[in-house]
Structure 1
Amino acid sequence: MKHFTNILRWLSVQKHLYILFGLLFIVPNCVFLFTEPLPVSVGIASIIMPLAFWMGVLLLARRPGIVVWCLLPKIILDGGQLVLLYLFGESVIAVDMFLNLTSSNASEASELLGNIFLVIICVFFFYTLPTLWLATRSVRLKDRLTDVFRRKWALRSLALFLIGVALCFLSPLQHHRFSLKDDVYPVNALYNLYFAITKSEKNANYHITSADFRFDSIRKAHPEGKREIYVLVVGETSRAMEWSLYGYERNTTPRMKQLDGLVHFTDVVTQSNNTHKSVPIILSAASAEDYGVIYDEKSIVTAFKEAGFRTLVIANQKLTTSMIGAFYREADSFIDMSSFNTGSYLTSLYDASLLPYLEKELDKSDDDMFVVLHTYGSHFNYHERYPAEFRFYTPDKAEGIRASYKTELRNAYDNSIHYTDYVLGEIVDMLKKKDACASMLYLSDHGEDIFDDSRGRYLHASPIPTYYQLHIPYVIWFSDNYRELFPDKYWTAVSHQAYPVSTNSVFHTMLDIANVQTAVSDSSLALTSKAFDIRDRMFLGDHDEPVPFWKVGLKKADFVMLDKWKMAYRKD
């Protein structure tokens, strides 16, 4: 009791609270010193300069608690940053994190928040609430900061800030180019928020900036007497290492393994570990190398529409607020299954629910068709992605996001892959019945971390990806009619199975399969073209800049897995 009384007495002095507030404001900065790959001088400067700045700002009032309450948004930002550091172990709140707030639906948000609720509560009770309680105590105290104290600490803050600036000038000696917007929290987080807002405005103006664009699509070949149906299936959070087709020990893809005419590509890397960037790259001529064209050009849906195909999109995810939704609305028919009543805003339909709608649309006419199916795939919560009859691996119900539940999480994840295999098999069977010249291309937008190694990483969309988020399945099925009419394309795809590939190949490959040529087609990116060319594979950075995927911050454990799966990257 005596110690508690002494602590309260110490906390009844404004100058003590002033120092304490300054230290509380740099808690995230101190964590970054150990998590970020910065030179020592820059790491220390990234603590000293913010500390000096906040110490100066806190002097604006004689009761520093008033300033703290005025900086409530900063305290909330710090709390969010600490939660993300727990989840991913490194990096500042990224642009993608801010954009995910506007592109996630209630089901996705509830699944994630429900499983990290304990972490959020801990941050609130051990950081946010104590800071605000101390601020309230400061406001109520009769004690004030004296003018002498304020002048003295104003000078000390200035001197400390200048020391930090001096340390930044040492960064070139350590082969680092210092950048305030990249290296210092919360400047980097606020810059990312600004970048996200700017990007959202570009997304919102897409219908204006792309209004006059035309692909000038033409069909170079058309099989006489045969209907053409080409299906692009966009998967979610599926990783190649969990497909038995790729060598996984569990038989998770029995139907894919038995399909005649199926080609699977073994060395495929996504260009983004975030849905709202990876899927637009899949659906357009944009790439990590040239992402800006996404705002000026239309999607693959319009390219096929111009070529005379009836276009259909069926989506089992809520994507209408993103660029993906804008692309999908270009279709002749867009069925947004996320808007269907499931009885709760927090649940979604199983992916097989799209099959009756697909069959109905295919039966409407004998038109040549291009179809995009966007599935929920293996998105967390995994055990909610499949019906009870697909509980092949049990136990499959985890009580939270913790390494202790890894067995349950992996079982549920593998069940979701098995269910994806079933859905794809049903789509192929449906196409076979049409006796058409048909093809189906499936790939996932990105992978996922599931407590795979000592880092304890989980989920996806982290600012720094891992092997597990990058390596994805990518398969193309060709019907008997297609292989008979266009054998060269099929065998060319077979010859490219082990080639290094990125997700930016999909747009060009899909068009080449359908013999559609556009003003932006690139045969060197089409896996069914003999002109396909191997190139360095890029990852789309947080500020939409291209970075070789092996230079995005991968760790030793990731390179071990890349080598295990014989994936190509520069080792110099």
Structure 2
Amino acid sequence: MTRSAAILSKMLFFGMPAIAIIPNLILWYTEGLDLIQGLASVLLPFGLYWLIMSSAIRIGRCAMWFTIVLLLAAFEMVLLFLYGNSVISVDMWMNLFTTNSSEVGELLKGLWPVIGVMCVFSLPLIVIGVIAYIKKWRVSGTFLCVNRRIGLMIASSGAILCAVGYFAGSPVVPHNQVFPVNALYNSWIATQRAVATMNYDKSSGSFEYSAESWHCDIAPEVYVLVVGETSRADNWQLFGYERQTTPGIMEADGLVGFKKAMSESNVTHKSVPLLLSPVSSESFGDSIYFVKSVITAFKEAGFRTAFISNHRRNHSFIDFFGSEADTCIFVKELNNDDSAPDMDMLPYVTEEMQRGGRRQMIVLHTYGSHFKYNDRYPRYYARFKPDRIKEVGPEGRQRLLNSYDNTIAYTADLLTMLMNEIEGAGYRGALLYTADHGEDLFDDGSNKFLHASPRPTYYQLHVPFIVWLSSRYVEAYPHVLARALENRDKNVSSSASFFHTALELADIRTPWFNPSLSVVNTRYNLPQRVFLNDRNRGVLLRDAGLNTRDYTRLDSAGIKY
């Protein structure tokens, strides 16, 4: 082996563990580990990395195995850039299973700076590793023997610190605190969930609501449930935002906005099933695989149902729930257009309403304010400029905010058009809208962006919640509007109340209906605030990891926690 090859082999041997341990050093700080926990979380994996690199005389083979560790480290660094803390969570792995390629492409384009930095550090080593593997570079047996001892000493020191921490009251739990053990453990949980989800048709096959409608007259009625995407209440003019993002619905007759609504999840693959089913956060992990959605409840009560989505299928509960409907349409797939704006759903809504059914129920799953924001609306909707996103970071926040606010305005206009459609058709109708979760936008100088972080934030959970009733509906059932107005200033969980409010608007009765969770019921009463965490456990919101700024915002908004 040449002298240059020998130098590169040594660079490979020491460089790969050095790069891979960077996330551990950062997590020591971001996760608030004490000295024993921090040292153990660094020394134990670093020693194991050293042992991996000294496991074979052909350094290229070791490097190929170690590439997996580098890829995990790169993934973790991207998440640390986005959220500022936390390890690769179960929900992050689930997002890989349930996010289509177009969404991934949009996100990666916006994260090119941090991805570029990781590539600068990692790719040269990976390339050297490939060359070493092809050319069968070898290191000396003496070199391996010495470094195996060093690796063993470092790993043993980490293991001893784990034992010391256990007896000193500062336990180190590898599957919670040591990267990449925790990330791999979370990937295993995610795999189990994915397998259980794939068997959903069988596990939920015998489920029924025993539902029936208590509206006895024959007047035609329609209920439109709109599930938004990534919309936070703080950017809605309707809820006090200084920008005119929702002027079209501000004075709409029969509209009631609930300004203290919070989602119980900050990831779509859990928040939407919570909205469309009676499952609570406390029972989500055990129950979601065995129930069907609100669509089935309406079908059992004699309604013609439709599910119209502006997403692509992603093999999640949302797809399964949508397939329960008489009509199931995925607009992006039907038109083969990943850039289709949400208003492309309107013709399908009109078509459904023109079918002439006496009782109709339509669920819309919009693309809403999903990143990349300036691709969510036609150019002529760009009210706030400049709105073309060039880079993702605190320095580009104003463009992000402008484009995000444009998506809110576009969504508000979509809702207005839906209301006009119902009103113009002369139905006794109602529209119920909320978003699955909110979004961080580098607020208050923070480095937090997007959503789905293991530790939620105020902006990721505070969502709009709107009930609108047509004039004919109010004429027939004035007490429903009165109850909504009575409850409008109360605290609301969108996750808990969406399903039950939809049933009460249509006066559908089932053993699964809980009147205390319907915002149009006199018995409405919000239970304690909870959050569905990464391990699918419903925990009190105050125990979900919010920081001091989040609590200050909650207090300012008068939101109970």
Q: Verify: 1:247 aligned to 2:244, yes or no.
A: no
Give CA deviations for 1:230-257 in whole Å, capped at 9, x if unaligned.
1100111111111111011111111221
| Structure-1 residue corresponding to 2:315 | 321
Q: Verify: 1:445 aligned to 2:436, yes or no.
A: yes
| Structure-2 residue corresponding to 1:166 | 163
Q: 1:449 to 1:354 in 2, by over 3 A?
A: same
What does residue range 55-454 of structure 1 map to in structure 2 within 5 Å? Answer: 55-130=50-125, 133=128, 140-141=137-138, 143-146=140-143, 149=146, 152-153=149-150, 156-157=153-154, 159-170=156-167, 172=169, 174=170, 178-219=172-213, 221-291=214-284, 292-341=286-335, 347-454=338-445
Q: Verify: 1:475 aligned to 2:461, yes or no.
A: no
Maintained 8 Å contact 2:63/2:129? no
Q: 1:211 to 1:128 in 2, by over 3 A?
A: same
The CA deviation at 1:497 is 1.1
Maintained 8 Å contact 2:89/2:534? yes
Which of 514, 528, 531 is matched with 1:522 structurally? 514
Q: 1:380 to 1:17 in 2, by over 3 A?
A: closer
| Structure-2 residue corresponding to 1:562 | 554
Instruction: Name the aligned partner's letter for residue 363 of structure 1.
Output: Q
Q: 1:356 to 1:21 in 2, by over 3 A?
A: closer
Partner SS state of residue 91, structure 1: coil
Q: 1:13 to 1:245 in 2, by over 3 A?
A: closer
Maintained 8 Å contact 2:497/2:518? yes
| Structure-2 residue corresponding to 1:3 | none
The CA deviation at 1:10 is 9.3
| Structure-2 residue corresponding to 1:24 | 19
| Structure-2 residue corresponding to 1:52 | 47
Q: Distance in 2 between matches of 1:558 and 1:147?
A: 51
Q: Distance in 1 between matches of 2:88 and 2:117?
A: 19
179-188 or 306-315, which moves further after superposition? 179-188
Q: Distance in 2 between matches of 1:357 and 1:484?
A: 28
Instruction: Name the aligned partner's letter for residue 534 of structure 2.
Output: D
Q: 1:223 to 1:387 in 2, by over 3 A?
A: farther
Which of 493, 497, 505 is matched with 1:513 structurally? 505
Partner SS state of residue 453, structure 1: helix
Q: Distance in 1 between matches of 2:304 and 2:73?
A: 50
Q: 1:22 to 1:101 in 2, by over 3 A?
A: closer
Give CA deviations for 1:383-414 in whole Å, capped at 9, x if unaligned.
11112221211111121212222111111111
Q: 1:305 to 1:11 in 2, by over 3 A?
A: same
Q: 1:216 to 1:339 in 2, by over 3 A?
A: same
The CA deviation at 1:340 is 2.8
Maintained 8 Å contact 1:229/1:438? yes
Maintained 8 Å contact 1:525/1:533? yes
The CA deviation at 1:465 is 1.9
After TM superposition, the score normalised by the length of structure 1 is: 0.92
Q: 1:148 to 1:409 in 2, by over 3 A?
A: closer
Identity value in percent: 36
Q: 1:462 to 1:155 in 2, by over 3 A?
A: closer
Q: Which runs of 4+ in 1 moved over 6 A?
A: none
Over the aligned positions, Cα root-mean-square deviation in angstroms equals 2.3
Instruction: Name the aligned partner's letter for residue 236 of structure 1.
Output: E
The CA deviation at 1:21 is 4.3
Q: 1:403 to 1:154 in 2, by over 3 A?
A: closer
Give CA deviations for 1:73-117 in whole Å, capped at 9, x if unaligned.
222111111122122211111112122122222331221111112
Give CA deviations for 1:497-542 in whole Å, capped at 9, x if unaligned.
1222112211111111111112221112111122222211111111
Unaligned runs of 5+ in 2: none
| Structure-1 residue corresponding to 2:544 | 552
Maintained 8 Å contact 2:37/2:162? no
Q: Distance in 2 between matches of 1:68 and 1:153?
A: 18
Q: Distance in 2 between matches of 1:59 and 1:9?
A: 17
The CA deviation at 1:135 is 7.9
Maintained 8 Å contact 1:271/1:288? yes
Q: Distance in 2 between matches of 1:401 and 1:75?
A: 24
The CA deviation at 1:124 is 1.5
Unaligned runs of 5+ in 1: 1-5
Maintained 8 Å contact 1:383/1:396? yes
Maintained 8 Å contact 1:304/1:516? yes
Partner SS state of residue 288, structure 2: helix
267-276 or 144-153, which moves further after superposition? 144-153
Q: Distance in 1 between matches of 2:533 and 2:288?
A: 15
Q: 1:466 to 1:147 in 2, by over 3 A?
A: closer
127-136 or 295-304, which moves further after superposition? 127-136
Give CA deviations for 1:168-199 in whole Å, capped at 9, x if unaligned.
31563x5xx64221111111100111111111
Q: 1:13 to 1:111 in 2, by over 3 A?
A: closer
